[in-house]
Copies of this chain bind each other. A is one copy, B any other.
Amino acid sequence: MAAALRGFRYLVGRCNKHDFAYVSTRCLASKTQVGFVGLGNMGNPMAKNLLKHGYPVIATDVFPESCKEVQELGAQIVDNPAEVADKADRIITMLPSCPNVMDVYTGPNGILKKVKKGSLLIDSSTIDPAVSKEMASAAEKLGAVFMDAPVSGGVGAATSGKLTFMVGGAEEEFNAAKELLSCMGANVIYCGQVGTGQAAKICNNMLLAIGMIGTSETMNLGIRLGLDPKLLAKILNMSSGRCWSSDTYNPVPGVMEGVPSGNNYQGGFGTQLMTKDLGLAQDTATTTRTPVPLGSLAHQIYRMMCARGYANKDFSSVFQFLREEESQ
């Protein structure tokens, strides 16, 4: 873990060498207005953290009622993304899926209708990297900079400002993005060109899903073979079977405290959301002609779980899905 953290510091450090080359006045004009589009479960606490850090926020959302809380905390609410772009040259967007992102950027009332030259547009939605690239290219034609910066961590991390941002885009703009993202996250990692933030997020979640299903079926098999679940978890965690799902987020009730498996799979990261991310992983794999046999099967298993009533349970409930029904 220490090594991993060192690695992280190195990554961030790497970007500093470009500071000297950074000429935009945007970044220097700290604490000027920041636009925010998308005030849902994640966007709301993120915008609040910007306000907390002293940034004036100009926000909008398709659902007016979503705007109330941040308005009460001092944010200015406008009608649509184009108006946000009219008033702010740094904008963060946090939206549920590709079509929303395309609409917010390139739609009739989209950001790009009124974006100013030199603006910094940061999209924290989790979407197909190909769409991120399209948006970046459309923004570039208007002289603006688009970066993708999807997050890892849920509503809790968004509230406490402990998100991890994986950022793709021009390296010389990374520090400007980091200035804002640091208000909302504990880790801000530069990943490479536009779309690589999405790529990193998608890759992590695909491997996470594989690890979670793998851990669940392994624990289930071990239990049926007569092993005590806590003991099996300990053995795996000392050995080469170790993974985040076995040592940090174990799916078997009673093995670990403070995780959704101990709370009837409430809270955590919903099966439906994981399924969406696995769909994105599958899409990018198909586009890049990459074989992802386990990722693909993981996608299908979560898809079956959604069809069988597990959509809103934490994704570790796959242990429950695979286990024999109690009534049998």
* A interface residues with partner B (beta carbon < 8 Å): 1, 4-5, 7-8, 11, 129, 152, 164, 166, 187, 189, 191-193, 195-196, 199-200, 202-208, 210-211, 213-215, 217-222, 224-228, 231-232, 234-249, 275, 279, 281-286, 288-301, 303-304, 306-309, 311, 321-325, 327-328
Contacts and interface: CB of A to CB of B under 8 A. Distances in A.
Contacts of A8: 234, 238
Give the secondary structure class of A's interface: helix
Nearest to A292: B217
Specify how many copies of this chain sit in the oligomer: 4
10 A-B pairs closest in CB distance: A243-B243, A207-B241, A210-B214, A199-B225, A7-B234, A204-B241, A291-B303, A224-B288, A293-B300, A203-B222
B225 A152 contact: no
A303 B282 contact: no
6 contacts: A7-B237, A189-B238, A289-B306, A291-B300, A293-B301, A294-B298
Contact of A307 (B195, B225, B227, B323): B323
A203 B219 CA distance: 8
A205 B241 contact: yes
